[in-house]
Amino acid sequence: MQITEGFMPFQNYQTYYRVVGDLNNGQTPLLLLHGGPGSTHNYFEAFDQLTAQTGRPVVMYDQLGCGKSDMPDNPSLWTAATWMAELQALRQYLGLQQIHLLGQSWGGMLAIIYLCDHRPQGIQSLTLASTLSSAKLWAQEQHRMIGFMAPDDQAAIAHAETTGDFTQPDYVTANRHFMERHAAGPVTAASPEFLRWPKRSGTTAYTTAWGPNEYCPTGTLSDYEYTEQLTKLTVPTLVTSGVNDLCTPLVAKTMVDHLPQVEWTLFAHSRHMAFIEEPAAYLARLTTWLAKHD
C-alpha cells in the first residue's frame, strides 16, 4: 500500500502530512481532521484499512502545535483561525479539490467552522465523529456525567474547579478516571501498533485553545457555539458517536436535530473513538456512507 509523507510550508512553520493510497486513482479522497487540539494524527492510522479494503486514498496530518509538525512557543497561534488557515492551505497544497471530510472531536468542530463560516467548494460529504456544536452544552453534559462518579472523584474535580488548581494528585486521579470512562483506556501492549508509537501531544495548544480538561472550556474556543448555524449546512452529514462517549447522545442528537441532510450511527460498545473500539463496524458504516456520496 502506497504511503507518502511530507511537510507543507505553512506561515513560518512546517505541517506534517501523510497520504495513504494514490490521490490520482480516480476515487474521492477522505481528509481527516484530528482531535485535541493537539492529539496528533496517530490514531487515524486505523483508517489505513479503509484504503486497503477499498482503494480510497486517505489524507491525514498533524495540526500545527503537535506531532511531527512544528510546535512553536507562541500561545497567540492557538486559535481556530490558525488551524483553519492551515486546513485551507493543505487542501490547496495537495490539490484536494473534491473530498470527503471527517473530523473527530475538535476536528469536527474545525470542520463545522470551515463549512459554516467559509462555505468551501468540493465537499462531497461530512462525517462528524464524536464532536460537538456547542462548548456550553459539552461542558454541561460532562458535568452531568461527573455526577455519576465516586464521591471522592467528584469532590476532587469540584475543588480543582473552585481553586483553579488542576495539579493536585486527587484531581489528576479523578480526571484520569473520567477520561478512561468516556474517552479511552490506557495504551497497552495489546493496543494497535500505531497507538503505541511515541507521539508529541500538543499540551500547550490544548490548554490554550480549550482548557485544563474536557469539562472546563476556558480557552480561545470557549465561545464556540454553532448549533443554530448547522441548519445552513446542505452537505450530506453522518454523525457518529459512542454510547459512553464524551459526545453524549444529547450532544449528538442536538447536532442531528439541526442538520438538514443527516444520518446518525450510535456505536453500542464505544467511548470517544468508535473507529478504535469497534473498527470493523465503523469502517463498514463509513465505507457505505462514502460510496453513497461519491
| Adjacent-strand bridge partners of 6 | 17
**Nine cell digits for residue 67:** 506531532
Active-site option among 34, 41, 182, 272: 272
Tell me if residue 294 is catalytic: no
**Nine cell digits for residue 103:** 473530523
Task: Give which of 204, 253, 208, 203 is closest to 230, Cα–Cα.
Answer: 253
Alpha-carbon dihedral 211, 282, 277, 68, rounded to 10 degrees: -50
**Nine cell digits for residue 188:** 497497552
Active-site option among 62, 70, 153, 245: 245
Q: Please tell me the distance from the alpha carbon of residue 284 to that of residue 213, in angstroms, as a whole number.
A: 32
Tell me if residue 170 is catalytic: no
- Identity of the residue numbered 129: A
- Judge whether 113 and 81 are in contact, CB under 8 Å: no
Tell me if residue 105 is catalytic: yes
Active-site option among 69, 105, 130, 133: 105
Q: Please tell me the distance from the alpha carbon of residue 294 to that of residue 288, in angstroms, as a whole number.
A: 10
| Positions marked active-site | 105, 245, 272
